[in-house]
Amino acid sequence: MKSVAMSGSLRTNVGKKDANGLRRTGQVPCILYGGSGQVSFHMEERSFKTIVFTPDVHIVELDLDGKKYNAILKELQQHPVTDKILHADFLELTAGKAVTVELPVKFEGTAPGVRNGGKLIRKMRKIAVRGPIEKMPDALILDISKMEIGDAVKVGDVKIDGLSTLSAPNTTIVTIRVTRNAVEDPAAAAAAPAAAGAAAPAAAAAAKKPAADAKKK
């Protein structure tokens, strides 16, 4: 999993008044938990750009007044109108200890069903998995190169070594839906023009026969 370095400063006061004062100066009050104790600190809001405005999940290498921790961002509180970051919670990572992470879903390959006019419908952009952080990939890569119209990939179809998925097994991640212009049987579609071409001379001959019979009479 990708990592990014961030630095902050420990908070001497942890009240609401102090938190509001930090926000006015462009700082974000934060908490680090999951280790030997809870740590309160603050970081510049602009430093969050590398981990917030991206679908990727990162291990955050936190430097708090010289003491370093490995963590992941677990929760972010933002202003409902301005999207300003108000508070952040980080979970400290411990080797071998299971954590829950929402991995982004990415596709690999081109589905034959899409080439034949079907529409690729993404149902999930992220999928929650649990396991040791050492086993976590950057993303969940799904191979869609064999998906035909009507096919679907569900959570139960996903197997990741050392990790377990947390969503219901029958939850659909991606499917290919039939459309008006879709061709469900490419072989039949290819044969149709040839059949039509072969039928044309026979139809023309049938049309000429009544006219010839009329002249004889």
Q: Is residue 191 part of a domain?
A: no
Q: Mark which of 93, 111, 141 sits at the end of a domain.
A: 93
The residue from 63, 93, 123 where one domain ends is 93
Residue 173 in any domain: the answer is: yes
Residues 9 and 89 in one domain: yes
Number of separate domains in the chain: 2
Sheet arrangement for strand 172-177: 119-122, 172-177, 152-154
**Does one domain contain both 87 and 139?**
no
Tell me, yes or no, whether 114 and 52 share the same domain: no
Residue 212 domain flag: no
| CATH for 170 | 2.170.120.20
Q: Assess whether 48 and 76 both reside in one domain.
A: yes
Helices and strands per DSSP (H, E), number in the chain: 4, 13
Residue 19 φ/ψ region, left for φ over 0, alpha for ψ in the -120 to 50 degree band, beta for the rest? alpha
Q: Give a three-class secondary structure readout of 108-146.
A: ECCCHHHHCCCEEEECCCEEEEEEEHHHCCCCEEEECCC
pLDDT tens figures, 52-64: 988 888 999 999 9
**More confident call, 5 vs 195:** 5
User: CATH number, domain at 67?
Assistant: 2.40.240.10
CA nearest 12: which of 34, 42, 38?
42
Say if residue 16 is in the same domain as residue 79: yes
DSSP one-letter code for 42: E
The answer to whether position 149 is within a domain reads yes
Q: 143 and 85 in one domain?
A: no
Q: What confidence tier does 195 reach under pLDDT thresholds 50, 70, 90?
A: very low
**Strand, helix or coil for residue 55:** coil
- Is 205 a domain residue? no
Judge whether 170 lies within some domain: yes
**Residue 158 belongs to what domain range?**
100-177
Domain boundary, last residue among 43, 61, 93: 93
- Rounded CA-CA distance 141/127 in Å is 11
Task: Enter the tokens of residue 29.
Answer: 């009050």
pLDDT band at 192 (very low <50, low <70, confident <90, very high): very low
Residue 206 lies in a domain: no
pTM: 0.75
Asked if residue 197 is part of any domain, the answer here is no
Q: Are residues 120 and 150 in the same domain?
A: yes
Pseudo-torsion of CA 161, 167, 168, 173, nearest 10°? -80
* Residues 76, 80, 81, 86, CA torsion sign: negative
How confident is the model over 6-31, as a mean pLDDT? 92
Q: How confident is the model at residue 89 (pLDDT cuts 50, 70, 90)?
A: very high
Q: Are residues 16 and 81 in the same domain?
A: yes
**Residues 135-169 pLDDT 10s:** 999 999 999 999 999 999 999 999 988 999 999 99
